């Protein structure tokens, strides 16, 4: 059994020293001297973007830090963390949000939740607890919609990360036993039993993600058995392999966007080159992302087609940004005035980005440990001016087999109409080319560009033209 002090049980974001204000200022000066020109964000622009932070999360928030999100099979947001109250509901460290109110998941668990995942249509919670729903459960348990169940014998330590890979649930953290199996900080669950993933990883694992057809891990480790893997590694199916020269310090977050794997943490180099807090791996080489952060990155999420980062920082690439920012692929942007303290979790849900952490304001609005950024502007209806650019509401919506999309152009021009999932990934293009002025109709049959059936869920139709962009939600229900 691994023995720990209370400080050892702290979540990943508290495992390293915080930057003092003077240290941050010195680092900001260093960034400027190295040639990254600071971009000043106007007060008017920040104020306008603050309107995109939702009000009401002073009462819809929680009573303590939120550390993880996922979504259940009904489409509800699930949050986990240190809290025991969510909104007005008593909730044992995990709760469900239907868009207007929180509900508990039974009696919850008796300790903090650091990771959540949906596996085989059930919610799996990982953290540092001993019971779930009042029954023994060693740091990992599943919720079937009405009751909690242990996953075998659980683990003899802490679970910091969960991911679904192939047909397995992968759990990682700080442990050396999973069920009856010896497993060094990472193991997989097949629905019945635990098995190790090779030699495991030699120190704490804080992040897991699937990129392409591979599983990736990030953390405080530098070895897998005799193999050097500097703070980030790829599972080959039989062993853990390095990503080039790796990083020079801990990684805390991983995200897949297009051909690149993005890694966030508290490092200053990737592959031997300067990369502050965030770096990009293209499968063969590392590169920096903008000017990086003055601070650390603890979570990553793709929302509206852009990479969003959360952590503890006040500057990204020379742009003032409080603890949350987005990378457009070419530049960094602030999300209004951001949040006033650490961000630990980000999750795309319907048309919004949910933010969890230790903060109490978001966009200068009271927001207790949970915030919502409504950065995707969805048209409320037809434009007021006749003859303007328009994308009408889909019909029918929700739909099962086909949704019709009607759009109108004030003048002829280049048009692209595409369907995206909630993470911003394009599934299929319905129209792409020069189109005459006037009214046009397209239809989506619920299939992606390869002809595969898209699962039930929320999607977005996006019309891009020379006159502007319009977006509409689409809800597909099971056939």
Helix, strand or coil, per DSSP, at residue 334: strand
Span 309-340, pLDDT tens digits? 999 999 999 999 999 999 988 899 999 999 99
* pLDDT < 50: residue spans in the chain: 1-42, 377-386
Cis amide prior to 398 (ω within 30 degrees) = yes
Question: Distance between CA 331 and CA 305 in Å, rounded?
Answer: 14
Q: Residue written as tokens 């050097």?
A: 228
Say what the pLDDT of residue 5 is.
33
pTM: 0.75
String of b and e for 397-417 (b: at least 16 CB within 10 Å)? eebeeebebebbbbeeeebbb
Span 244-299, pLDDT tens digits? 999 999 999 999 999 999 999 999 999 999 999 999 999 999 999 999 999 999 99
> Does CATH place domain 390-476 in 2.60.40.4070?
yes
Q: Where are the domains of the chain?
A: 12-373, 390-476
Question: Distance between CA 194 and CA 184 in Å, rounded?
Answer: 12
Q: In Å, what is the CA distance from 361 to each residue of 50, 172, 277, 281?
A: 11, 31, 24, 33
Query: Regarding the domain with residue range 12-373, which homologous superfamily does it belong to in the CATH classification?
Result: YVTN repeat-like/Quinoprotein amine dehydrogenase (2.130.10.10)
């Amino acid at each position: 059994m691994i023995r720990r002090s209370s400080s050892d049980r702290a979540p990943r974001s508290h495992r390293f020293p915080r930057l003092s204000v003077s240290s941050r200022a010195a680092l900001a000066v260093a960034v400027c001297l190295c040639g990254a020109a600071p971009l000043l964000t106007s007060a008017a622009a920040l104020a306008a973007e603050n309107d995109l932070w939702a009000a009401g999360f002073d009462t819809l928030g929680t009573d303590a830090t939120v550390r993880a999100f996922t979504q259940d099979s009904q489409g509800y947001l699930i949050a986990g963390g240190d809290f025991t109250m969510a909104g007005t509901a008593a909730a044992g460290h995990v709760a469900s949000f239907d868009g207007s109110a929180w509900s508990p998941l039974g009696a919850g668990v008796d300790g903090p939740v650091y990771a959540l995942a949906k596996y085989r249509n059930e919610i799996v919670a990982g953290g540092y607890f001993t019971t779930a729903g009042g029954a023994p459960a060693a740091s990992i348990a599943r919720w079937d919609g009405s009751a909690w169940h242990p996953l075998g014998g659980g683990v003899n330590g802490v679970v910091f990360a969960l991911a679904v890979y192939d047909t397995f649930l992968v759990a990682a953290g700080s442990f050396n036993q999973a069920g009856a199996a010896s497993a060094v900080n990472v193991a997989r669950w097949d629905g019945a039993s635990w098995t190790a993933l090779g030699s495991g990883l030699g120190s704490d694992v804080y992040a897991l993600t699937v990129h392409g057809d591979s599983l990736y891990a990030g953390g405080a480790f530098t070895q897998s058995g005799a193999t050097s893997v500097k703070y980030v590694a790829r599972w080959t199916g039989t062993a853990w392999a390095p990503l080039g020269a790796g990083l020079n310090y801990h990684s805390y977050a991983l995200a897949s966007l297009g051909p690149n794997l993005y890694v966030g943490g508290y490092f200053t180099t990737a592959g031997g080159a300067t990369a502050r807090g965030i770096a990009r791996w293209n499968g063969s080489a590392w590169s920096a992302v903008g000017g990086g952060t003055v601070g650390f990155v603890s979570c990553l999420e793709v929302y509206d087609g852009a990479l969003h980062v959360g952590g503890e920082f006040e500057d990204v690439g020379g742009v003032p940004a409080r603890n949350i920012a987005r990378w457009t692929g070419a530049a960094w942007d602030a999300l209004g005035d951001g949040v006033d303290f650490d961000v630990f979790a980000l999750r795309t849900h319907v048309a919004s980005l949910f933010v969890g952490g230790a903060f109490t304001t978001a966009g200068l609005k009271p927001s207790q440990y949970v915030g919502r950024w409504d950065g995707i502007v969805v048209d409320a209806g037809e434009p007021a001016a006749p003859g303007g650019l328009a994308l009408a509401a889909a019909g029918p919506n929700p739909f099962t087999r086909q949704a019709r999309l009607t759009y109108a152009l004030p003048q002829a021009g280049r048009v692209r109409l595409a369907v995206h999932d909630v993470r911003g990934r394009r599934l299929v293009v319905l129209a792409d080319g020069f189109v005459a002025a006037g009214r046009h109709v397209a239809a989506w049959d619920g299939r992606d560009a390869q002809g595969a059936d898209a699962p039930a869920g929320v999607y977005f139709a996006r019309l891009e033209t020379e006159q502007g962009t319009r977006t509409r939600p689409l809800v597909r229900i099971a056939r």
